[in-house]
Each structure stands twice: as C-alpha cells, then as structure tokens.
Amino acid sequence: MESRHGRLIGRRKFLQAGGIAAAAGAAACTRPRLLPGPPGTAAVAILRASSYQADLLDCLRRGAAACRLDVRGKRVLLKPNLVECERGGVIHTQVDVLAAAVELFESLGASEVTIGEGPGHRRDALYLAGEAGYRTGIRNFDARFTDLNRDDVARVAGFDGGIYLARTALAADLVVSVARMKTHHWAGATLAMKNLFGVVPGALYGWPKNHLHQLGIDRSVAELHHIFPRSFGIVDGIVGMEGNGPVQGRPRQCGVLVMGADLAAVDATCCRIMGIDPDRIEYLRLVSGRGHVLEQHIEQRGEAIAKVRTPFALIPKFQHVRLA
Amino acid sequence: MPNCVESRLALLEAAQNPDGGWGYFAGKQSWLEPTAYALLALGDEPRARRAFDRGWRLVRSWQAAGGGWRGCALAGDPHWATSLVVTLHCTRGIWDEPFGSGVDWLVSSSGAETRPLSRLAHWLSPETVEFNPALGGWPWEPGTSSWVEPTAHALMALSRAARHVRQGGLENRIDVGKRMLLERRCRDGGWNYGNRRVLGADLPSYPETTALALMALDGHTLVEWGDTLTHVERVWQGSASPLARAWLAACLLQYRGVRPVSTGPCDTGDILVAAVEAISWNRVMAA
C-alpha cells in the first residue's frame, strides 16, 4: 500500500515492526515499579451500598469515622465529576452521593461546604448540573456552586513552569474529589485523582483542556495530586462505568463507596476492586512515591476487596492492565 | 428593542469591573472573552458610550508583543479570544496596526495536529481519533490541537477582516479552516467540541458548538441550509441550556434576520449568556 504520505510499507507492517522493536526494548530493561510511598500506611474505607436508595449518609459517616476524618472549622470544596452529563446515565457523579456528601461534611462541622466543577467538554456548567439533578436534589446548590472553568485564577508551581488554577479550589482547606468509578479510554481508569482535572480553568485551557493531554494525562494527574495535598476522595462505585469510559461506556453495578484521605490509596483500592492492576496504571506509578499504592501499605477498612471485587470490562488497548 | 435584550444590556452595564472589563460573572476578575462580548453588545448603545470606552481601553492594553491578545491581566500568553477582538475591531471600523498584527497572529496560528510528529502518530493509529490532520483549524491555546469553537471564532473574525486587509495566505487559511469544520461534523449533522469519532464510536453533537460552526461556515455551499436551520430552530426550542439557546438564537438571527423570542428565564447572571443574547449578530456578521 502506498499511503498519502508516499510511504511504501503498510501501516500494519509498520506497526508489527514497531511492536517487535518495542518488545525487544521491554525485554532489555525492567519496567519501573511502584515506589513504597511515604512512611506509615493509609486508611481506605470500602462501604457496601447496594443502590442509591440505601442510606448513603450513614455509609459516608461510617467511612469518615473509619478514616478519622476531621473537618471541623474547615472550608470544604466538593468536586464532583461532571465531565459531561446524560440524564439517567452514569457519566457524572450521582446526585444522591453528592447530596449525602454535603450533609456529611456539614454534620462533621465544616465551616463551609461548597461545590465546584469545570466540565471538560461543554461550557454551560450550571445546565449540566441541572441535567445531573444537582440543582433540585442538593440543598442550596446554586448558592454553593462555582463554575471552576470561569472562576478567578491564580498561578501555581508545577506543570513545567506553572499553571493557572481556579482560585476557589486553591482557597479551600480541603478539596474533596467526589468521583464515579469509571474506566477511561486514555488513562485506564478515572477515579478520585483524575477527577481533579476539573479545577483547571477552561477559560485559559479550553474545552477540552487539551493542555493536559499535550503534557500527558498521566503526568497531569500526578502534577495535580502534588498541588492538592489537602484532599479527600469519595468514589461512587454503586454503579460505575465499564468499557469505553469515561463517557461512552456501559453501567456496571459494583455496590460500593470508597473513601480515604490519600487519593492514591483510594484510587489503587478502586482499581483492585475493578480488577485492574494499579501497578499498570501509569499515573498511580508516578505518584507512588508520594501516596500509598502498594496493597501492603493500605489499611483497608470496612469491606475486604475480595468480597466486593467486580471486574470491569476493559477496551482492547487496556487488556494488559487486568489484575492477574 | 425587545425587553429581553434591554435587560441583558442593563446587566452588562451594571456588571462592568472598575478596570473597565467584565468577568464571566459579576464581581469576578476581568477576562478578555466576556469583555469582548460585552463590548460587541454595548457598542451600538449611545447610553453605554463611557462603559464602552473604558472596556475598549482595557482590551487595547492587553495586546501582547506577537499580536495576539492576553486572556486576562494575569496571563501573558496570547489567547484564542483574540478572534473576538479582531471581530470587535471590524464592527468599530478600526483597521489600525494593532488590528493588523492581531490578524497576522491569527493567520499564523494553527493546531498542533498539523505538525509532522502528530501526523505520523495519526497515520500509525488513524482510528484512535478520526480526522484529517492536514486540515488545521485553531487551538484554544498555542501549541495544542484545533477544536471547533476557537476555529469558528477565528473564521468569523478573519472572514470579516478579509474585506479590509491584504494579508498573504488569509483566504487560504479561511478555506482550510472551513474545510476543517466540515470534516469534523458529527454523524448526527451537528458539531461537538471537535471529535466526531473516537476509537470507532461516533460521538454526539452539542447545540452550542453546532450553532457556532454554522455561523462560521457563513452560508457554505456544502451545508444544506434549509433542513439545517429547521433543525437549529427545533433544537433551540428544546434546549434547556441558556448558553446553547443564546448561540442557537444568534445563528438563527444571522441567517434569518430575526431573533427567536425567548420565553425562558430572563437573566441567569452569566455575562457570556447575557452578551451573546444582546449582540446583533446579523450586523456583526455583515460588518
């Protein structure tokens, strides 16, 4: 085949040759492994919740207690995943989980509980919030909400010479990533850490935030993790998304909420529940020196992973991340 | 003047910041995008002359060395909303040196997907994201890929500017940009942010980007306008997004000369929505 670029070999042959070279290269060097992480262990709570009709506030309270979460007097920003929204679908964080999180943090004595998101594809964040049921299902939602894409910004270190981020997120005492458990067709999985892409302002970086893709999704996830050490993760795995996530996958009933203050540990735990090897998720490997990813360094509370493990379907290019 | 337009103009006047610019919401820091839209909306209002002049001075002070405009006071890099400033100059009839260098910057700007390494990556795996990398549009940010919305704004700006400036490559750049938009059209007939098919799956269009792409295509012969505008009107009637409705109405105003009468809530507090609803797009596009 002669391509439009005038090359005389076919793409398939080119790829095969590249594959052989890559395999030889891989054999010649050892793939970097997970680092041990900081001293001590990280607590991650796994709570069963069979449906969104369950007492989610009670689940979250038990999880918060298990993680010894103390937010008294703190300004808390809840960051749901609203990258897009399909009414009744599983792209976004379920309203019931976000509403329960508002109640949880208020009941724990936070001085302020706000909600912020900067959707990745569409500009009308408040409309998306309405479609997701947030404006009717969450008390005082409009007063709590900030569109992080169009917020005031401040420049912070990181990302090769600095990046502008939403001031509302930077000013919070605690950023709580309230994500949905989903596969991701570029990163393998999108959980509490990847959800922080929403604090990057579209007003400067666009819709989508291509800046992060150009730098590398994995590296960008790791950079944001470094910028927000005061964070907490709640992953909605009651019904997740499998296959061609984060937008076009299928619902996957998993029946869990996963919580913890170490987002790397939360994400690694979610991966193990989803049947994904955290060691093969590049952004987890990148943050493994700063967070706990190794199973022996994560103090699992609540349910055991083995009891709730629910393998999520993976697209062909991510079959290699399947947990053995 | 319809009441809804009057109320939008009043909101814009009230929301101007002390530095002369507008934020995306009242009380927020000034950004180039809402400021340019506000000036496009207020430009014909005699009563808003002082507000316009203050905003205009701020915008002119934000031009960067290379000809593009900064997105806000804090950011030094040229911003995609340079397109809006070029359009603003066209509507004011100002064809001076800052305008010319803004046009030059826009003409020289293109998406990163046209670069050799990106094209090689696409050639090796064309089904990952299906598009023609030879057709470069405009990026949100220099050094990144082309997307529908910044491309639409750049096309609108350069199409207006082309009537007033001689710039080598301008007509060709407009032609390639329009072909890029046509090539990124989703299977359902509209446009989303700019990916029509990823990993073998068709992606759906969005109403707001569909409206913008159609405005930028400016009567292109490869669009079946009758059916398309009927579809736009239907989507406008059914959309719950104020921003989408504003852009769909702007599209209908451009092509039909009549703005559909809005029955939705009057003010959302969103400066962008208020401005897009108040701008006389039929006049802007004809400027």
User: Domain residues for B36?
Assistant: 3-280
pLDDT tens track for A62-72: 999 999 999 99
| pLDDT value, residue A34 | 82
pLDDT at A37: 81
pLDDT at residue B167 in the model = 81
CA B224 and chain centroid, separation: 22
Q: For residue A8, what pLDDT is reported?
A: 35
Question: Domain for residue B168, yes or no?
Answer: yes
Spatial distance between the Cα atoms of B172 and B163, rounded to a whole number of angstroms? 14
Are A120 and A134 in contact by the 8 Å Cβ rule? The answer is no
User: Does residue B3 register a pLDDT over 80?
Assistant: no
Yes or no: say if B195 and B131 are a contact pair by the CB < 8 Å rule. yes
Structural domain total, chain B: 1
For B258-273, write each residue's pLDDT tens digit: 888 776 556 778 999 9
Q: Which chain B residue has its CA at the smallest distance from A184's CA?
A: B199
pLDDT for the residue numbered A32: 62
What does the mean pLDDT of chain A come to? 91
Distance of alpha carbon B273 from alpha carbon B7, whole angstroms = 12
What is the model's pTM?
0.93
| Residue B1, pLDDT score | 60
Identify residues of B whose CB sits under 8 angstroms from chain A CBs.
23-25, 28-29, 31, 33, 71-72, 74-75, 79-80, 112, 119, 123-124, 126, 139-141, 143-145, 147, 149-150, 192-193, 198-199, 201, 203, 206, 208, 240-244, 268, 270, 272
B186: in domain: yes
Does residue B250 form part of some domain? yes
pLDDT tens digits, B46-87: 999 999 999 999 999 999 999 999 999 999 899 999 999 999
ipTM of the assembly? 0.95
pLDDT of A4 above 70: no
> What element of type H or E holds A250?
strand A250-260
Q: Contact B242/A18, CB-based, under 8 Å?
A: no
What CATH number does residue B149 fall under? Answer: 1.50.10.20
Listed in sequence order, the DSSP H helices in A29-94 are 56-66
How large is the average pLDDT for residues A2-14?
39
Kindly report, residue by residue over A240-276, the tens digit of the pLDDT: 999 999 999 999 999 999 999 999 999 999 999 999 9
DSSP structural state of residue A320: G
Please list, in sequence order, all residues whose beta carbon lies within 8 angstroms of the beta carbon of residue A285, skipping any fewer than 6 positions away. A32, A33, A34, A279, A293
**The pLDDT of residue A68:** 96
**Which pLDDT score, from 0 to 100, does residue B263 have?**
60
pLDDT in tens, B225-248: 999 999 999 999 999 999 999 999
* pLDDT number for residue A160: 84
Kindly list the residues from chain B whose CB atom is less than 8 angstroms away from the CB atom of residue A15: 124
Least CB-CB distance to A123: which of B143, B145, B243? B243
The yes-or-no verdict on residue A319 having pLDDT over 90 is yes
Encoded tokens for A120: 């990745």
More confident position, B285 or A228: A228
Could you tell me how many helices (H) and strands (E) chain B has, helices first?
13, 2
Instruction: For residue B285, tell me if it sits in a domain.
Output: no
B263 domain-assigned: yes
Asked if B184 and B111 count as a contact pair (C-beta separation under 8 A), the reply is no
Neighbours of A80 (CB within 10 A): 28
Task: Please report whether residue B286 resides in a domain.
Answer: no
pLDDT at A21 over 70: no
Residue B18 placed within a domain:
yes
Whether the per-residue pLDDT at A74 is higher than 70: the answer is yes
Q: What is the pLDDT of residue B265?
A: 58
Q: With an 8 Å Cβ cutoff, are A147 and B244 in contact? A: no
Residue A9 binned pLDDT confidence (cut-offs 50, 70, 90): very low
Amino acid at B81: A
Q: What is the pLDDT of residues A132-185, one digit of tens each?
A: 999 999 999 999 999 999 999 999 999 988 999 999 999 999 999 999 999 999
Q: Which two tokens stand for residue B256?
A: 């039909």
Measuring CA to CA, how many Å separate A306 from each of A91, A240, A251, B126? Answer: 26, 18, 21, 39
Neighbours of A280 (CB within 10 A): 17
Beta-strand ranges (E) seen in B121-246 are 197-198, 201-202
Q: Maximum Cα–Cα distance for chain B, whole Å?
A: 59
The end-to-end CA distance of chain B, in Å, is 20
- On whether residue B287 sits in a domain, the answer given is no
- The pLDDT value given to residue A1: 30
β-bridge pairing A75-80 and A112-117: parallel
**pLDDT over 60 at A17, yes or no:** no
Q: Which residues of A touch B270 (CB under 8 A)?
A: 126
Distance CA A97, CA A77 (A): 15
CB contact under 8 A, B140 and A206: yes
Position A28 scores a pLDDT of 45
Closest CB to A127: pick one of B123, B203, B240.
B240
Tens digit of each residue's pLDDT (9 = 90 or more) over B144-202: 999 999 999 999 999 999 999 888 889 999 999 999 999 999 999 999 999 999 999 99
% chain A with pLDDT above 70: 90
Cross-chain residue pair A164–B80, CB shorter than 8 Å: no
